[in-house]
Structure 1
Amino acid sequence: MILISNSIVDLEKVIFVINFICFGIHLFYILFFHLRVSLHRNNNFSQGSTKVSIIICARNERRNLALYLESFLKQDYENFEVIVVNDRSWDNSLIVLNELAKNYKKLKIVDIPDNETDHFGKKFALTLGIKAAQFEHILLTDADCKPSSDLWLAKMVNEFNQNVDIVLGASTYEKKKGFLNKLIRFDTAQIAVNYLGFAKANLPYMGVGRNLGYKKKNYERASGFKSHYHLASGDDDLLINQIANKNNTNILLDKDGITISIPENSWKKWIMQKSRHHTTNKYYKLKHKAILTMQYMAILLFYSSGFFLVSTDEYWIYFGMFFCIKLCLAPLIYYKPFKILLCKDLLLLYPFYEFILLICQPIFQINWKKT
């Protein structure tokens, strides 16, 4: 009995040490990477004259094009064009585009006819869009997105300069009723804080195609999407992972410089979307995979070991203390970015949403392997 008792005590100590180390690692990521986003200041704003091509790929987006495209065409900026690649649509998207083109000379349409024998993806459409672009500076967004203001274009362009070739913007989702909407918005904000924080720490590893800018020369130097053309995803994160570095990348986090998208309205669709995104992770640079894996494992082991410690007589108080520190830090560290991303209502339950997403990760992985 004494041996068993000693073994239990030793096990509790080991698990406590694991919990303590993981909390320390997790705290490091919060303070070293995420805090940088809260402290970030954008460049002093001034209306520039840089010529810009906005590229939007749209497949069967008739309704969204009718709702949102004009908000891009009406940006408070002088020198720009909007290229919409109609990607094999059969829902009369082309009719909507042609009607808009009558009123907006800035709108250029690239039409890819629907052909059931071809299986081109978004990367093919983007390739044609970039090829059609007149200007060196390119901004990407999606057909189901709308800019947060008529200064979106000017704000994004303002972060470019002679040395900065890539601007990582942020995007969020509309606030709607329901738990799924809260989880999607939290996940999106958390991902944004992560990749923006890494970029601020000179480790840019991804961007999102809903709000992303780069110079055409960088795309051409990378031979476009050639290295990952066989993947359905990766037109944004894998390209940025390939071409971004500490010297050529800047970020923008501004209430007038984000884009707002329509969230998925069913668990199945959201899980499929997240699973597709997981197909690109293994193609990241080794250093990025290592540091992101450590980040994920630290938070996973922190919670899993914490659940064990809660049942102990001696160590539950330490886990409770760590958890309270985390609970208090969340509003301080994440208030600014979450407010800009229209997610400040989620801060009080930050650990809860974080834990739910951890539980969901195996589901994303299983679905990814099935695809």
Structure 2
Amino acid sequence: MLLFIILMITAFYFIFNLMLIVVWKEMRAKHKIPPVQRDTKLTVIVPVRNEANNILQLLQDLNQQTYPFENFEVIIANDGSTDDTENIVLVFQEIAYYELKVLNLLNDSSASPKKRAIQKSIEISSGELLITTDGDCSVSRDWLSSIQQFYETKQAKLISSPVTFTEKNTFWNTIQIIEFASLIGSGACAMYLKKPNMCNGANLAYTREVFEEVNGFAGNEMVASGDDEFLMHKIAKKYPDKVFFNMDVDAIVRTTSQEDLSHFYQQRRRWASKWKHYDNWQVSALAIFIFLANLSVLIAYYLINEYLGIGILLLKFSAEFFFLSLVITFLGYRNKIIYIPIVQLIYPFYVVFFGLLAQGKGYRWKGRKLQ
């Protein structure tokens, strides 16, 4: 009976990845956005805490945008930084081509500092379309143009755009790029199918109108993480046909990967902490399915038969390999495809470990202990 269940889960996972391949190819083929007038007022919101080593790169990238500078503003929400972040931004104000604001927030005991930073930024903003990213990110010259053109063409309420890690030419960095690509790719396909399950606040856009209409982050204030996904689910519930993924290489945001295992652990624990708070059964069911698919590999190998385990591993990851290859190529890292099998060997242990860890509480992030 156990063997039958494992085989069924593996077969469904194989079919699931075949579906992702078909959807991804269709998305790429259909992504054609006609040029429209670039006059939408945009507000870029950047919550930061101790980003003195990174923030200058983002500010410089924004100074190179092809989108008209008079049509966008940037708000740096300085969330109790103890380093030189604020001074760097203040100095850059003198040479910024766009309107650059600094919003200093007190280092209080908010249960969700990032949601608070975004909320306070929105209160002083003037843009029709709100775009969030992080202080350790870099963007292309056409980043804002890509998002705005997509917004006007689709009349979108929320737009999720691609995120990847900046290449550092280390094996640890490569593992993170591939692992994260699987999340971005599957999340993009889910949005295309009108079943959004994940997005990333490092590259997210939504209208001021819809943010106010769904009452912003209300209902999730006590969950430190999820400033992106909880909001997406609220908007998708009200406007299921107005939530999109922007399949444009110019819209890719690159962020820094975690420097060591300790920081990686805390980041993934932070991400995993929000799963149990989802009120959408389809999203929860998918998370459980992915967990069981990876757990099945370990059970088959260690508890039944090692040859069976290897066979299930090969079946499970064959279609997944092709899907990840497509996503990695889109993100500009075709040279890393050869490392996908190594990540696939590690992935079952990773998913099971963090899936179980998600049932616990608490983690440390940016020098704070959060729930």
TM-score (norm 1): 0.86
- In the alignment, which residue of structure 1 is the partner of 2:62? 72
- Of 154-163 and 203-212, more deviation after overlay is shown by 154-163
Q: Aligned to 1:209, which of 197, 201, 213?
A: 201
How many angstroms apart in 1 are the aligned matches of 2:115 and 2:212? Answer: 14
Q: Provide the rounded CA distance (Å) in 2 between the counterparts of 1:116 and 1:282.
A: 26
Q: Which has the larger displacement, 222-231 or 345-354?
A: 345-354
Are 2:235 and 1:243 aligned? yes
Which structure 1 segments of 5+ residues have no match?
A: 1-13
**Residue 369 of structure 1 aligns to a residue in which SS?**
coil
Correspondences of 1:1-371 after superposition (within 5 Å)? 14-40=1-27, 41-46=30-35, 48-49=37-38, 50-78=40-68, 79-115=71-107, 121-147=113-139, 149-161=140-152, 163-245=155-237, 246-284=240-278, 285-302=280-297, 304-305=299-300, 310-311=305-306, 316=308, 320=311, 323-324=313-314, 328-330=318-320, 332-364=322-354, 365-366=356-357, 369-371=360-362
Aligned length: 352
Instruction: Give the Cα–Cα distance (whole angstroms) in 2 for the partners of residues 197 and 182 of structure 1.
Output: 23
Residues 20-57 of structure 1 show CA distances to partners (whole Å, capped at 9, x for unaligned) of 31222102221223531233132324254222111111
SS at match of 2:251: coil
Alpha carbons 1:140, 1:209 under 8 Å: kept: yes
TM-score normalised by length of structure 2: 0.86
CA deviations 1:97-143 (Å, max 9, x no partner) are 12211122523323225446777611111101112221111111101
Residues 163-203 of structure 1, C-alpha deviations (whole Å, 9 max, x = no match):
42111111100222443222211221010011111111110
When residues 235 and 27 of structure 1 are mapped into structure 2, their CA distance, relative to the original with a 3 A threshold, is same
Structure 2: stretches of 5+ with no match in the other structure: 363-371
Measure the CA separation in 2 of the matches of 1:262 and 1:93. Answer: 17
Q: Equivalent residue of 1:260, what SS?
A: strand
Q: Which letter does structure 1 place at the counterpart of 2:126?
A: Q
Deviates more, 1:172-181 or 1:260-269: 172-181
Structure exhibiting the larger radius of gyration computed from Cα positions = 1
Residue 74 of structure 1 and its aligned partner are, at CA, apart by: 2.0
State the identity %: 21
Which amino acid in structure 2 is aligned with residue 347 of structure 1? Answer: I
